[in-house]
Amino acid sequence: MKKLQKGFTLIELVIVITIIGILAAIALPRYIAAQQDARFAKMQALYGSIRSAAALARARCELDIAAGITTTCATVAMDGLTITMTNRYPAANVNGPATLPTGILGAAGITPGAAAGDGITAALAGTTLTLTATGASVPASCIISYTSALANAAPVISLTASAANC
């Protein structure tokens, strides 16, 4: 009697490896595109959050002035944080005391830095705060900028991003 052999032949093994290689070649670009789409969506969400937070802080400032609590509105209290204000809008600053975000970042509830998990970095140049997505394919083209309000004007908030660059 002959023994039956069990297992794969070399040809079957090569075919399986080839199929796995083809699937990997198709799946990898889609996976990378999904990461870029996720970063872009995150930047859009942060942009909306910053715009909303600026409006809410402004409303809080106006309420404090109307109630006679303050006349200058240098700070407002939001969610247990003291938000630094400039011309009745949140200031563009990175950190306050003990590295707590105090300006627009505190108002929006954003904590920049790799350890914080938000996936963004923050840089301040003068009165302009720039948020950049960590890991973006073109970092300079995946940013949100917030420029502090000038007298009698709203802050300038802009989103420079696309799914291909994030």
The parent domain of residue 122 ranges over 15-160
pLDDT at 115 over 60: no
Q: Is residue 6 part of a domain?
A: no
How many C-alpha atoms does 21 have within 13 Å on its Cβ side? 6
Q: Is residue 165 part of a domain?
A: no
Tell me the C-alpha distance between 101 and 134, whole Å.
Answer: 18
**Single-letter amino acid, residue 87:** N
Q: What is the pLDDT of residue 43?
A: 92
Q: Is residue 87 part of a domain?
A: yes
**How many domains is the chain partitioned into structurally?**
1
pTM to 2 decimal places = 0.79
pLDDT at 49 over 70: yes
Query: What is the arithmetic mean of pLDDT over 67-95?
Result: 89
Q: Is residue 118 part of a domain?
A: yes
pLDDT at 56 over 70: yes
Position 98 confidence tier, pLDDT thresholds 50, 70, 90: low
- The separation between CA 24 and the C-alpha centre of its own chain, rounded to angstroms, equals 30
**DSSP characters for 85-152?**
EETTEE---S--GGG---SHHHHHT---STTTTS-EEEEEETTEEEEEETT-SSGGGSEEEEEPPPTT
Neighbours of 156 (CB within 10 A): 14
Q: Is residue 10 part of a domain?
A: no
pLDDT at 88 over 90: yes
Position 102 confidence tier, pLDDT thresholds 50, 70, 90: confident
pLDDT at 117 over 70: no
